[in-house]
Amino acid sequence: MKTVLSGIRSTGHLHLGNYFGALRNFIELQHKARCFFFIADLHSLTTHPKPEDNRSNIKIILSEYLASGLDPDISVLFIQSSVPEVSELFVLLNMLAYKGELERTASFKDKIRKNPGNINAGLLTYPVLMASDILIHRAHWVPVGKDQEQHLEIARVLARRFNNMYGVSVFPEPQAYNFGEDLVKIPGLDGTGKMGKSEGNGIYLIDDEKTIRKKVMRAVTDSGPVKPNSPMGPEIANLFTLLSVVSEPDVVTHFKEQYNSCTIRYGDLKKQLAADICKHTLPIKAKIEEIYNNEPYLKQVMEQGAEKARTSARQTLELVREAMGVKLF
Ligand code: TYM
């Protein structure tokens, strides 16, 4: 049976990128494989959140996972920091990760460009911690969005290097997984880049109908196609990407035809897009609050998840210690 693992940082509410990039793919798999899903609270520390924000974010994200359909009786649902074995594997794998290859990681370069005042070692070794998350459960498939492709490559390099260096086959090489075929990149509503937590361009699972409509109606567009079959500018292409994720195929075809024949009214497209986003998110939103307020349940889910995750993690760590000779008796 395949093992699946994925996680999301605890840096704020989940947005459509997190949901369609990682979470929904994971939920599709939870009945078919051995599944782990976690809150990457240690990774979040690289940006120095206030302790109280970090704590409340964990509770928010956990409620949002559960409301989205993660079943804690089928999947192992846990907080990264409650499985100390991950941190131990992180230390051990750091011995196999080279400074040069970590410095070349696109996410590291991006972080140091955006935050020159906080280039901490945790940012540099971020992919090694991520590899530890994946390899500690010897995962085969990792549902993630396109932005995590390079991190997955590093996890594969470390798995391969470990197996070769110690002449073992402890780790499978984990593959990024998407339920369709290609990994998805959900664009933001500002006409540029991807939807992100800090970019202010996102729609969150917690947003109400009015907010979603307002955000979508404000999305950047252009002045419209001037001749039939003209190429789409990036803002319009982004709206179509979102539409293709949340709407039925015939809806997408309908608006594409209108675009190609220059009869499209962006206002109509946006109204449809907002309505279709709501179809996915509002049922989740309705459950978030109820779960969030049920602290005993959340606590029980976390304890149960940590225990199961630690059992799995300990087994891997035994093999790793054995292979590296970090075990006297
Ligand atoms: P994070 O918290 O930035 O994002 C969590 C997941 O959401 C996906 N995602 C997107 N997918 C498509 N379009 C978008 N606009 C978009 N924005 C976010 C991400 O690809 C990711 O799958 N390093 C990870 C967290 C992590 C992890 C792991 C993931 C730590 N350890 C082990 C998988 C396995 C991160 O920062 O994701």
Task: Name the band, by pLDDT with cuts 50, 70 and 90, for residue 318.
Answer: very high
Return the structure tokens found at 137: 């459960």
What residues does CATH 1.10.240.10 cover in the chain?
A: 209-289
Check if 186 has its Cβ closer than 6 Å to any atom of ligand 1: yes
Tell me which residue has its CA closest to atom 36 in ligand 1: 9
Which CATH superfamily groups domain 3-184+295-324?
HUPs (3.40.50.620)
User: Considering only the top CATH level, what class is 209-289?
Assistant: mainly alpha
Tell me which residues are annotated as active site.
Answer: 111, 194, 197
- Contact indicator for 128, 90 with CB cutoff of 8 Å: yes
Q: Is residue 20 within 8 Å of 245, Cβ to Cβ? A: yes
Rounded to an integer, the average pLDDT of 9-16 is 94
Mean pLDDT, the chain, integer: 95
**Tens of pLDDT, residues 257-274:** 999 999 999 999 999 999
Which residues on neighbouring strands pair with residue 4, listed in sequence order?
35, 141
Q: How far does the centroid of ligand 1 lie from the alpha carbon of residue 128, in Å?
A: 15
pLDDT interval class at 327 (50, 70, 90): confident
pLDDT band of residue 328 (cuts 50, 70, 90) is low
Helices vs. strands in the chain: H and E counts, helices first: 15, 5
The best mutation among 36, 135, 147, 190 to test binding of ligand 1, ranked by most ligand atoms within 8 Å of the C-beta, falls on 147
Residue intervals of the chain classified under CATH 3.40.50.620 are 3-184+295-324
pLDDT digits (tens, 9 = 90+) for 26-39: 998 999 999 999 99
Burial of 323 (0-12, 13-18, 19+ CB in 10 A): middle
Span from the CA of 41 to the centroid of ligand 1 (angstroms): 13
Note the pLDDT of residue 180: 65
- Output the pLDDT for position 193: 83
Are the beta carbons of 145 and 184 closer than 8 angstroms? yes
Nearest CA owner, ligand 1 atom 31: 130
pLDDT, tens digit, 9 for 90 and up, residues 151-207 = 999 999 999 999 999 999 999 999 999 866 788 899 999 877 899 887 778 999 999
The model's pLDDT over 109-162, given as tens digits with 9 standing for 90+, comes to: 999 999 999 999 999 999 999 999 999 999 999 999 999 999 999 999 999 999
Residues whose CB is less than 8 angstroms from the CB of residue 128 and which lie 6 or more positions away in sequence, other chains included: 90, 93, 94, 97, 102, 154, 158
> What is the average pLDDT across 61-84?
97
Looking at the chain, the whole-number percentage of residues with pLDDT higher than 90 is: 90
Contact of 243 with 251, CB cutoff 8 Å:
yes
Nearest to 5 by CA among 102, 108, 80: 80
Reading the block at residue 20, the tokens are 């369609």
